[in-house]
A and B are shown apart, each in its own frame.
Chain A
């Protein structure tokens, strides 16, 4: 999620830090899914380019991320890396778009800005 047209990107939005927090408090299967996915991402990068994903050039990274260009199917892809990329991509996009920097940099439309809504407070919770 790069910065585009003046909009904040994932790094500006601190999306990696936020997702680290979110996954860290998620149920165990979700944590394992991310752990396996990140390991697979590096393993596939090493296999193809001899280095971990974070060290790849943009062109090399695009090669690894190619499954994201495949048409959407309801059932998750058979390839576990493709499955991870699909989920992680949506999480990164959402974590970015729902951040304060992204909202602040969104072009004003003159209407109520996106991302503002009526929040239901806890209603007479059991103590």
Chain B
């Protein structure tokens, strides 16, 4: 393999790497894909089990995944093991770096919430003066969103809102329950928009690179996937300075190997791609590689409420059930008093409030839970985090992973803008619940630590100026022209929308550009 000349070497097989392979292989370009993890088989690798048959009754082995709050004992084996893949952070400023090292990456397990960014994000600086604009606008990316959404079969309802552009949807015509109608009516009084969730339906509950992108790429005969290949650095030609391949380590044998290609695409996930470039000592003439790390802050169960009419065993499907999505509504045409940008809310109804947040114990608690059964409303806040230079990752010379590759050190914290935004979210949501006639049982404005959303973005941002950005508007390195970085690290701002559709669209756009450059002989 090391001697085989490939046109393009792609690191990573998740959403971004998968889309690059899908786009390039179908244009006849010979691709090699490296992934750090093993292939996964949903039949072979899963088994139906009762929680009491698990070794730890669903608690999982204590201390095993301290930063993966999404983990439970059923799914613990799919997350990257932190002892093999360590990272460090400032004491007291945790970063929850949640990783999946399997062919298909995080696209195997994402929540499938599928949104477009708008020019409120692409041209954010024009709107409020903070930070930087992207070097592209919504119009540049729209044709790619239009192609990606049908591949992922995104369901949603068209609304015509400028802050959340409509897509090519499987139209969601499902009726709203009475509870959702009441919530929407109360929200409307405060000019808060509510729509159906926009979600990739994929095929068979799976909307992954593994089933929607890689099969088509493999069918061309132009894609070779090498699993268990842990990339350690991008190599360059000493004379031209151009990339000529990637050094990687076999996960099991720990043998070091090298693969050559004319072009290298990094789609290893936001921070792994940046780590690879930092460890390679390239593409950083700007000095901003690793900087402007941001994500979206999350507050799950921001508010827990119940619909009184549905309590006491009276909940019916017509009365309560289903949910919705509130896109950003702050700082569009008016200004919030103590923060810029905005947040989104995802709510669901028809559940039972969590006993963790109810007072009481024993029979009194069980009676409460029986009374509230099926009558609940709960919402998650997803807030924009401002990109800031002083939130960054760097290489920690004192820490290496199981393959001897230097690990990342994180320095990231939220600022008053995020804290003030979180307070506004909980207060607003509580007010809407009260107006709808619901009883609020608990509320919180406390954010999870940075990283929890698994939407880490930035650190390899794009821009027109090579002095302040790592990539140009085509996701191409300013410094090393035959390196493209197609994952979330290229983001300049992230808004409050889940980023996967944007990552996929950027990767498709960059890959089409690359294919044209290769065809014309420019690369």
A residues near B415, Cβ cutoff 8 Å: none
Tell me, yes or no, whether A70 is within 8 Å of chain B by CB: yes
B residues near A68, Cβ cutoff 8 Å: 359-361
**Contact across chains for B49 and A116 when beta carbons are under 8 A apart:** yes
Q: Which of A104-127 contact B (CB under 8 A)?
A: 113, 115-124, 126-127
**Contact across chains for A124 and B361 when beta carbons are under 8 A apart:** no
Q: Which of A75-110 contact B (CB under 8 A)?
A: 75, 89-91, 93-95, 98-100, 103
Q: Which of B48-105 contact A (CB under 8 A)?
A: 48-52, 54, 56-59, 61-63, 73-78, 84, 102
Q: Which of A1-44 contact B (CB under 8 A)?
A: 1-2, 4-5, 18, 22, 25-27, 30
**Contact across chains for A89 and B366 when beta carbons are under 8 A apart:** no
**Contact across chains for A2 and B362 when beta carbons are under 8 A apart:** yes
B residues near A27, Cβ cutoff 8 Å: 62-63
CB distance from B366 to the nearest CB of A (A): 5
CA distance A74 to B304 in the complex (A): 12
A residues near B46, Cβ cutoff 8 Å: 118-121
CA distance A89 to B166 in the complex (A): 46
**Contact across chains for B359 and A72 when beta carbons are under 8 A apart:** yes
Partner-binding segment picked from B133-141, B323-331, B350-358: B350-358
CB distance from A72 to the nearest CB of B (A): 4
**Contact across chains for A22 and B62 when beta carbons are under 8 A apart:** yes
Tell me, yes or no, whether A47 is within 8 Å of chain B by CB: no
**Contact across chains for A98 and B58 when beta carbons are under 8 A apart:** yes
Tell me, yes or no, whether B45 is within 8 Å of chain A by CB: yes
CA distance A25 to B402 in the complex (A): 24
Task: Name the interface size band of chain A.
Answer: 35 or more
Q: Which of B333-374 contact A (CB under 8 A)?
A: 355-364, 366
A residues near B48, Cβ cutoff 8 Å: 116-119
CA distance A100 to B77 in the complex (A): 23
**Contact across chains for B51 and A120 when beta carbons are under 8 A apart:** no
Q: Which residue of B lies closest to A27 (CB)?
A: B63
CA distance A90 to B78 in the complex (A): 26
Q: Which residue of A lies closest to B44 (CB)?
A: A121
A residues near B76, Cβ cutoff 8 Å: 120
CA distance A22 to B51 in the complex (A): 15
Beyond A2-B363, A72-B357, A115-B50, whether A94 also contacts B58 by CB under 8 A is yes
* Total contacting residues, chain B, CB less than 8 A: 47
- Partner pick for A22 among B59, B252, B359, B363, CB 8 A cutoff: B59
**Contact across chains for B45 and A123 when beta carbons are under 8 A apart:** yes
- Partner pick for A100 among B47, B52, B56, CB 8 A cutoff: B52
- Partner pick for B75 among A71, A100, A120, CB 8 A cutoff: A120
**Contact across chains for B77 and A4 when beta carbons are under 8 A apart:** no
CA distance A2 to B359 in the complex (A): 17
Tell me, yes or no, whether B444 is within 8 Å of chain A by CB: yes
A residues near B168, Cβ cutoff 8 Å: none
CA distance A120 to B43 in the complex (A): 10
A residues near B251, Cβ cutoff 8 Å: 126
Beyond A25-B62, A75-B446, whether A116 also contacts B51 by CB under 8 A is yes
B residues near A93, Cβ cutoff 8 Å: 355
- Partner pick for B47 among A5, A119, A123, CB 8 A cutoff: A119
Tell me, yes or no, whether B228 is within 8 Å of chain A by CB: yes
CA distance A113 to B50 in the complex (A): 9
Q: Which residue of B lies closest to A28 (CB)?
A: B63
Beyond A121-B45, A123-B40, A124-B38, whether A99 also contacts B54 by CB under 8 A is no
CA distance A18 to B442 in the complex (A): 30
Q: Which residue of B lies closest to A26 (CB)?
A: B62
CB distance from A99 to the nearest CB of B (A): 5
Tell me, yes or no, whether A56 is within 8 Å of chain B by CB: no
**Contact across chains for A89 and B50 when beta carbons are under 8 A apart:** no
**Contact across chains for A119 and B57 when beta carbons are under 8 A apart:** no
**Contact across chains for A120 and B58 when beta carbons are under 8 A apart:** no
B residues near A121, Cβ cutoff 8 Å: 45-47, 77
B residues near A127, Cβ cutoff 8 Å: 252
CA distance A27 to B62 in the complex (A): 7
Beyond A27-B62, A74-B446, A115-B50, whether A120 also contacts B359 by CB under 8 A is no
Q: Which residue of B lies closest to A31 (CB)?
A: B62
A residues near B444, Cβ cutoff 8 Å: 74
Beyond A93-B355, A123-B40, whether A98 also contacts B51 by CB under 8 A is yes
Tell me, yes or no, whether A52 is within 8 Å of chain B by CB: no
A residues near B402, Cβ cutoff 8 Å: 126
CB distance from B299 to the nearest CB of A (A): 9
CA distance A119 to B356 in the complex (A): 24
**Contact across chains for A117 and B363 when beta carbons are under 8 A apart:** no
**Contact across chains for B49 and A117 when beta carbons are under 8 A apart:** yes
Beyond A2-B362, A27-B63, whether A122 also contacts B77 by CB under 8 A is yes
- Quick one: which of A25, A26, A118, A119 has the most chain B CB within 10 A? A119
CA distance A103 to B366 in the complex (A): 16
Beyond A27-B63, A89-B361, whether A103 also contacts B84 by CB under 8 A is no
B residues near A74, Cβ cutoff 8 Å: 444-446
- Quick one: which of B58, B76, B251, B363 has the most chain A CB within 10 A? B58
A residues near B358, Cβ cutoff 8 Å: 72
CA distance A24 to B264 in the complex (A): 49
Q: Which residue of B lies closest to A100 (CB)?
A: B52
Interface string of B282-325 (1 = CB under 8 A from A): 00000000000000000000000000000000000000000000
5 interchain residue pairs of minimum CB distance? A124-B38, A26-B62, A74-B444, A119-B49, A115-B51
Pairs A–B under 8 Å by Cβ, sample size 26: A1-B361, A1-B362, A2-B363, A4-B362, A4-B366, A18-B57, A22-B57, A27-B62, A65-B361, A69-B364, A71-B359, A72-B358, A74-B446, A100-B50, A103-B51, A115-B50, A116-B48, A117-B49, A118-B46, A118-B48, A118-B49, A119-B49, A119-B54, A121-B46, A123-B102, A126-B84
